[in-house]
Structure 1
């Protein structure tokens, strides 16, 4: 019989020793870690698929070669795209002199230095006691993050609260391969362009074009990771007739070209 989620995913053990750094590496094995929070901040790095992290206000998309920083006390649930996703977690106690970086949720690319340091922790599990060698190594991982993580990537989308917008977002989800025009969208759902623009800004905190662009890029990420489609085929699948335009947009959102992202995936598979 399967252990319940709270036992299986060790969430009750993270804060037992408030001064330790807690480490846990494991295959997901299931498709949900229910909503929970902990007193320690979390560095979550995943391999083998996309992990969706849902907070009270947003869903974050954590792809391979990226990590998410989750500050202490933030309620969240975790939904991997596959049971075979490998999760690497380090949980850090708060420190009085912590930089502002550690107080904000964010997703960041993993460079070669951080990747090697995370892989070095592969055999660790459980509490890393203060003043132990492994504790000091883990603390060094935390210390370098503000220096190497200059870009907090916009790999998150808010939940629509207004019921009319819920229907519009569902329509967008179902038609990402189409070049949806804002004017046509407004007309289809009985809005003037001006009123729909205001509704997006008020309810989502972003414009339609920002929302639609991020939606398309997140779908492109899923296809890059989970299929064998070419970059050109993925561009068409998310509504871009011009592969260069798709590549440029992907670069603006993720800081690298789709082709470079695929190369990074291949390097990761060789580790």
Structure 2
């Protein structure tokens, strides 16, 4: 499998253009690559993970990911029928700090309609053209309307001891997991395990487990067509209100609203 198959070699051919590419994924993986332009990636129709050298990002429906220039990343999906909408922007000096960091953001109705307007465009959009001006406007409004960089990513564990624990958590998200018992099970004191999470992952055990559970919940909501209470139980929540509140804190919307938003997207 070559990068050329995925148009990657064309993105930077004209350094001043905005490059546009919308298409079916066609495969389950786009291999690791990078480009000199910043990328706005919006996807529809399946589960999408973007993996960088330091993090795994989950890109849910009705959200986009901003990938700064030069960031190596690969794209993984659960379906070849995922639609990818890509805009690649040249980087200029002294731009807004928004454009310097990786991030996942919800797409409001305005941004969604602007993205869908570019649906039939492909290739280099040249300065001075109507299409260029429209896509430039999309980029320009992002710092204003994208105020919530959602924590939909998890860092990779570099410590072999913690990798085993993280794998165990992934396999048992539906179970009640007590930190004290987890420490004993893997031969740690609570204090030393707490420090290991902070040192290796930069977050606490509770933070890691909460985000991992919500990421799994999003997968189940999108893939399995389960009721909210079924999803809550599947990711370890005995209380639907507690699950809904946690979901809201991370995605800024309730699970039921998220499902409804996905249905709206499919109809548009």
TM-score norm. by structure 1 comes to: 0.98
Aligned twin of 2:204 = 207
Aligned twin of 1:221 = 218
Q: CA deviation at 1:148?
A: 0.5
- For 2:262 and 2:119, how far apart are their aligned partners in 1? 19
Aligned twin of 1:194 = 191
- For 2:3 and 2:175, how far apart are their aligned partners in 1? 41
Instruction: Provide the aligned C-alpha RMSD in A.
Output: 0.6
Secondary structure of residue in 2 paired with 1:130: coil
2:136 aligned with 1:139, yes or no? yes
1:1-271 mapped onto 2 (5 Å cutoff) = 4-271=1-268
- For 2:95 and 2:168, how far apart are their aligned partners in 1? 43
Deviations, residues 216-270 of structure 1 (Å, cap 9, x unaligned)? 0000000011111100000000000100000000000110000000010010010
TM-score norm. by structure 2 comes to: 0.99
Is the 8 Å Cα contact of residues 108 and 153 (structure 1) preserved in structure 2? yes
Q: CA deviation at 1:82?
A: 1.1
- For 1:104 and 1:174, how far apart are their aligned partners in 2? 31
- Aligned residues between the structures: 268
Is the 8 Å Cα contact of residues 52 and 81 (structure 1) preserved in structure 2? no
- For 1:112 and 1:81, how far apart are their aligned partners in 2? 26
- For 1:270 and 1:193, how far apart are their aligned partners in 2? 49
Divergent runs of 4+, >3 A: none
Q: CA deviation at 1:5?
A: 2.9
Secondary structure of residue in 2 paired with 1:13: helix
Q: CA deviation at 1:97?
A: 3.2
Q: Extract unaligned runs of 5+ from structure 1.
A: none
- For 2:41 and 2:78, how far apart are their aligned partners in 1? 15
Q: CA deviation at 1:31?
A: 0.7
Q: CA deviation at 1:51?
A: 1.1
Q: CA deviation at 1:6?
A: 1.2
Deviations, residues 80-124 of structure 1 (Å, cap 9, x unaligned)? 121110000000001123100000000000000000000000000
- For 1:89 and 1:190, how far apart are their aligned partners in 2? 46
